[in-house]
Chains A and B, each alone.
Chain A
């Protein structure tokens, strides 16, 4: 199996901050790899290194079989960038932007034009192709950005937080576009703070924090790692939240997670079956008015919390504020 990314012991320091602290990662060809982590975890630093925009202080990084330090031009010929880090020119049309990038990839004028047209087409931007990008909506801009990453026919697509700041509908449209690319055989490495994004798109998830890998595996594997299932109780009255938490403490084999805002309490349990019945009975005996009860697979959110010990809500708040 060919490895598209091989990282061993990568470190990088910026002033006083150790952005990467011994990061190891291998990504196989044919995978969509999501690098998940809170702000400051090092995911942007890592993807910039893969894009040859940064050099590691120490460690090894090979992309598509080429060493990023010694064979950077070879790496650049096989990657495409989209997302937070690569710009689109607002004072040019969508088509002009794509043609520009195609020409910079070395395509001849005719090829660049054909390239731009077909990419616009596949992203549903043909109609808007001849308007200035500054007139585009956020979602359209991201799609164009994705298009710019494609004109070089990359083997590896690097997406830095591709849907941050987008409305839900544009997110889904972008996900569809990305899935289509994956189906056509492009490898993808994306960074994200959105757990549902990693869950939805990735075949391989790497969770990083403080510049190193905390966990890696398929979304399913990671969810299984925190073991068993989760019971989640949604109460009708705010005051019952604490009461339910007290009751459920008897059943837990992990943290109790309380969300006052949505009035939900969830707890990891060893197995389903009788546990659910017993928990429900206990909750009802406490006289609590229950809206909703679920016995479910753990969410990636819960995996994250267990593995990094940091409340993901903090990271989400940071993300929402930025």
Chain B
């Protein structure tokens, strides 16, 4: 057939390349059992542990139940943990030759990054929905409007997208998938020294300074304020607007710093 032996005459469009690369990444996630286990079951397990095992010991003032306090923390940090997987996968793609194949094809250079970002954002969104569902199942309830709840979900997608570039960068510089995983795990302590699982005010003074100003705290608190309404605002001490703005600024900062770095690094490697 003439069509299948026709020579190639132009560079493939960024749209098609991005979609195809994203599709491959998602199929890979979906068909690798370890990734699914890591994403959903592990997340669910920890949520249950925090909710039921620790829940009784942690007191939240201001009339918010621990489950209502906790689930926003889990949902928000959930996108971070998915992002950690991205670092490993990027390092694998480099090591195993997928990036080589892309570089030898008539595709736009950026398509590896855009495809990756699209796939991970989609995967994050799925993870968000699953975590939220589990949260509802163990007693989480919205105390704001439905619109605000959807805004909270949208914000989480943005946060995931923001951190994604940091993880892509880690994946590109790590050298091996194992090193990438190790480096990505460094994010772990950051998620704990934040308002994700306990109120910042309950931490020792010397930690509070760091915890109150880091991006994860802003992000979790924004989600918390949107889903829990005035009670959360009172607890946190800031208005929803302030928190949402702060978290968006942090997100912008992360993208502005790490996306160009990742692009430059990809170009060089």
Task: Check if B98 sits within 8 Å of A89, measured CB to CB.
Answer: yes
Interface membership of A105, Cβ < 8 A: yes
**Inter-chain residue pair count (beta carbon < 8 A):** 99
Min CB gap B153→A, angstroms: 28
- With beta carbons under 8 angstroms apart, the residue of B1, B7, B93, B104 that contacts A51 is B104
Q: Which residue of B lies closest to A87 (CB)?
A: B97
Interface membership of B186, Cβ < 8 A: no
With contacts A73-B11, A87-B97 taken as known, whether A106 is within 8 angstroms of B3 at the C-beta atoms is no
Interface membership of A294, Cβ < 8 A: no
Q: Which residue of A lies closest to B92 (CB)?
A: A87
Q: Which residue of B lies closest to A114 (CB)?
A: B4
Instruction: Annotate A49-73 by CB proximity to B: 1 below 8 A, 0 otherwise.
Output: 0011100000000000000000001
Task: Check if B105 sits within 8 Å of A101, measured CB to CB.
Answer: yes
Min CB gap B116→A, angstroms: 14
Secondary structure of the B contact surface, majority rule: helix
Interface positions, chain A 84-126, Cβ under 8 Å from B, are 84-87, 89, 91-92, 96, 100-101, 103-106, 111, 114-115, 118
Interface membership of A253, Cβ < 8 A: no
Interface membership of B241, Cβ < 8 A: no
Residues of B within 8 A of A104 (CB): 12, 16-17, 20-21, 102, 105, 107
Min CB gap B95→A, angstroms: 9
Q: Within the assembled complex, what's the spacing in Å between the Cα atoms of A84 and B101? A: 11
Residues of A within 8 A of B102 (CB): 104
Min CB gap A100→B, angstroms: 6
Residues of B within 8 A of A103 (CB): 12, 16, 20
Interface size class of B (residues with CB under 8 A): 20 to 34
Residues of A within 8 A of B13 (CB): 106
Residue from the set A73, A87, A96, A132 with the largest chain B CB neighbour count within 10 Å: A87
Min CB gap A106→B, angstroms: 4
Residues of A within 8 A of B105 (CB): 76, 101, 104-105, 152
Secondary structure of the A contact surface, majority rule: mixed
Q: Within the assembled complex, what's the spacing in Å between the Cα atoms of A73 and B103? A: 10
Task: Check if B100 sits within 8 Å of A53, measured CB to CB.
Answer: yes
Task: Check if A106 sits within 8 Å of B7, measured CB to CB.
Answer: no
Task: Check if B96 sits within 8 Å of A87, measured CB to CB.
Answer: yes
- With beta carbons under 8 angstroms apart, the residue of A77, A81, A91 that contacts B9 is A77
Task: Check if B7 sits within 8 Å of A78, measured CB to CB.
Answer: yes
Q: Within the assembled complex, what's the spacing in Å between the Cα atoms of A153 and B9? A: 11
Residues of A within 8 A of B24 (CB): 89, 92, 100
Q: Within the assembled complex, what's the spacing in Å between the Cα atoms of A93 and B96? A: 18
Residues of A within 8 A of B5 (CB): 153
Residue from the set A79, A81, A100, A104 with the largest chain B CB neighbour count within 10 Å: A104
Spot the interface stretch: B26-34, B60-68, B160-168, B175-183: B26-34
Residues of A within 8 A of B103 (CB): 52-53
Interface membership of B137, Cβ < 8 A: no
Residues of B within 8 A of A84 (CB): 97
Task: Check if A92 sits within 8 Å of B3, measured CB to CB.
Answer: no
In the complex, 12 of the A-B residue pairs with CB atoms within 8 angstroms, ordered by the A residue number, are A48-B100, A52-B104, A73-B106, A77-B9, A81-B100, A87-B93, A87-B98, A87-B100, A87-B101, A104-B105, A114-B1, A153-B4
Known: A89-B27, A92-B27, A115-B4. 17 other contacts (CB 8 A): A48-B100, A51-B100, A52-B103, A77-B8, A78-B7, A78-B8, A81-B104, A84-B97, A85-B101, A87-B93, A89-B24, A103-B12, A106-B11, A106-B106, A148-B101, A152-B105, A153-B5
